[in-house]
């Protein structure tokens, strides 16, 4: 659970989107905030949605009275139940969105969560001449081009640094800190909920279901955790990063996505024996005129920085042709970190300062990685010839076995073991899997997990 593409894309050509130039904020200082004159007008902000993130943004403003941001409105359904006495007294609470549109608020911060409602609010705010900041990754992943074009037509900005990696400033870091490089790949642990679940399974050997329940109690996971564990949340975020880092327009539904739910604590034991751990990885790579993108659980070498990402942290590795790997990491979930990212976008807009790369966004074919090593875990009702049957199925597709691992002490009626393969084509592995998944000795469906270098 977390709050895709670039905060400031421009209008499509139609297949190409450019980034708009600076748009000054009305009636607001242009200088960086540390040097804003004492009497300069504060940036007036309205918040839509007073949930975990919205209330955290309001608290950041309230606890920093010297901040160059002033909270003018809080919009929420059934707003009476949301009132808090620590909110600045001059902030107006309302259930009527027109109160926000008709106000002197300069920036509308959209944090309502629901994509359909958010779409309407963002459109109407931009049309009313408001700048908009949002943390809604699904909205941005699917409609950034149209919304950014709308923002440009009205001379406004749309910021969404909080839509990826919570409080980690990865979007600004890529656009500004890596602007001179030619980025070719972005790899990330983008879902703090999944990372918390996998970290608990690894550290304390708890089953998946128990780790999910703990994540729900802590507020990391929703009552229905499927968006997180099945990879849909991370898929939207890697689509955003593909636009920000690689300059390509990717529809999230075109990105291959695999769930972490088949994993068991046993898999972490075998992974450790292979000098690896398991993480949900999101990857987008620009190569040979194609975008290779996927979200999936993967065995990651313990020597990789990605293996050391724990609890609800996020990490993004941007790989450039000239600068090599640049790592961004930090808290990827939670109200306070996301609120920092939201308010940072507000401040950037108020300064009239925003990254404006000249990279075009183009549409390219999207496919998943076709060749990789694999971890295959089986749980079988043991009998002679099982290993030979599996080996023959792999051999028929030209797939070489790298290793076979089996720990003692398990009952013969439920015997787990692992086969790792050399790098092979995904289609070949799929054909082999179709064959051996039909065998009658399986107690559980076979599990296939990628092994990254």
pTM of the model: 0.87
352 and 276 Cβ atoms separated by less than 8 Å: no
User: Taking the domains of the chain in order of start, what are their residue ranges?
Assistant: 170-331+358-367, 371-451
Residues linked to residue 298 through DSSP beta bridges, in sequence order: 279, 450
422 and 402 Cβ atoms separated by less than 8 Å: yes
**Buried residues in 93-116 as b, exposed as e (16+ CB within 10 A):** bbeebeebbebebbbbbbbbbeee
What integer pLDDT is reported at residue 136 of this predicted model? 95
Give residue for tokens 């950041």. 60
Helix (H, G, I), strand (E, B) or coil at 321: coil
- Dist. CA 19–CA 21, nearest whole Å: 7
Comparing CA positions, the residue from 187, 368, 362, 345 lying closest to residue 280 is 187
Tens of each residue's pLDDT in the chain, 453 residues:
444 333 333 333 433 333 333 344 444 333 334 444 444 578 999 999 999 999 999 999 999 888 889 999 999 999 999 999 999 999 999 999 999 999 999 999 999 988 999 999 999 999 999 999 999 999 999 988 888 889 889 999 899 999 999 889 999 999 889 989 999 999 999 999 999 999 999 999 999 999 999 999 988 888 999 999 999 999 999 999 999 899 998 999 999 999 999 999 999 999 999 999 999 999 999 998 899 999 999 999 999 999 999 988 999 999 999 999 999 999 877 788 899 999 999 999 988 875 433 445 788 888 887 789 999 999 999 999 999 999 999 999 999 999 999 999 999 999 999 999 999 999 999 999 999 989 999 999 999 999 998
213 and 220 Cβ atoms separated by less than 8 Å: no
C-alpha distances in angstroms, 240 versus 138, 161, 246? Answer: 9, 10, 10
Of the residues 39, 203, 237, 287, only one is catalytic, namely 237
Structure tokens given for 39: 């009497």
What integer pLDDT is reported at residue 18 of this predicted model? 38
H/E element holding 47? strand 43-48
- Dist. CA 167–CA 338, nearest whole Å: 5
What integer pLDDT is reported at residue 354 of this predicted model? 58
Structure tokens given for 429: 């592995």
89 classed as catalytic: no
* Range 170-331+358-367 has CATH code 3.30.70.270: no
* Range 371-451 has CATH code 3.90.1530.10: no
What integer pLDDT is reported at residue 132 of this predicted model? 95
Comparing CA positions, the residue from 402, 170, 412 lying closest to residue 299 is 402
pLDDT in tens, 125-175: 999 999 999 999 999 999 888 888 898 899 998 999 999 998 899 999 998
175 and 35 Cβ atoms separated by less than 8 Å: no
337 and 331 Cβ atoms separated by less than 8 Å: yes
């Amino acid at each position: 659970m977390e709050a895709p593409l670039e905060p400031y894309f421009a209008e499509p050509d139609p297949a190409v989107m450019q980034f708009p130039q600076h748009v000054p904020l009305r009636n607001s200082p242009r200088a960086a905030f540390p040097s804003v004159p004492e009497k300069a007008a504060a940036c007036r902000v309205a918040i839509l949605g007073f949930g975990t993130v919205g209330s955290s943004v309001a608290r950041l403003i309230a606890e920093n009275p010297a901040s160059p941001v002033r909270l003018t409105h809080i919009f929420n359904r059934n707003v009476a139940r949301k009132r808090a006495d620590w909110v600045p007294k001059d902030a107006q609470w309302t259930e009527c969105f027109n109160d926000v549109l008709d106000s002197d608020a300069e920036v509308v911060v959209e944090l309502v969560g629901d994509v359909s409602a958010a779409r309407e609010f963002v459109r109407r705010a931009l049309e009313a001449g408001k700048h908009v900041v949002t943390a809604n990754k699904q909205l941005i992943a699917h409609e950034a081009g149209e919304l950014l074009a709308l923002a440009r037509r009205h001379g406004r900005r749309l910021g969404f640094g909080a839509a990826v990696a919570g409080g980690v400033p990865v979007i600004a870091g890529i656009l500004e800190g890596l602007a001179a490089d030619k980025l070719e790949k972005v790899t990330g642990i983008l879902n703090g909920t999944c990372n918390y679940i996998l970290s608990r399974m690894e550290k304390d050997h708890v089953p998946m279901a128990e780790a999910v329940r703990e994540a729900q109690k802590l507020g990391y996971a929703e009552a229905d955790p499927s968006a997180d564990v099945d990879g849909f949340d991370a898929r939207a975020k890697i689509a955003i990063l593909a636009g920000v880092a690689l300059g390509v327009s990717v529809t999230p539904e075109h990105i291959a996505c695999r769930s972490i739910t088949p994993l068991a604590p046993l898999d972490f034991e075998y992974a450790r024996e292979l000098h690896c751990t398991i993480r949900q990885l999101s990857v987008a790579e620009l190569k040979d005129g194609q975008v290779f993108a996927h979200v999936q659980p993967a065995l990651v070498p313990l020597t990789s920085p990605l293996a050391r990402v724990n609890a609800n942290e996020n990490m993004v590795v941007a790989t450039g042709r000239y600068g090599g790997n640049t790592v961004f990491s930090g808290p990827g979930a939670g109200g306070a970190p996301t609120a920092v990212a939201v308010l940072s976008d507000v401040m950037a807009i108020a300064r009239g300062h925003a990254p404006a790369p000249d990279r075009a966004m183009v549409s390219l074919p999207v496919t998943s990685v076709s060749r990789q090593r694999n971890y295959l875990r089986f749980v079988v009702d043991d009998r002679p010839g099982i290993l030979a049957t599996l080996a023959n199925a792999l051999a028929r597709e030209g797939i070489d076995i790298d290793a076979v691992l089996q720990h003692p002490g398990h009952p013969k009626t439920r015997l787990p073991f692992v086969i790792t393969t050399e790098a092979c084509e995904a289609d070949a592995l799929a054909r082999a899997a179709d064959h051996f998944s039909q065998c009658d000795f399986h107690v559980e469906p076979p599990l296939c997990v990628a092994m990254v270098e």
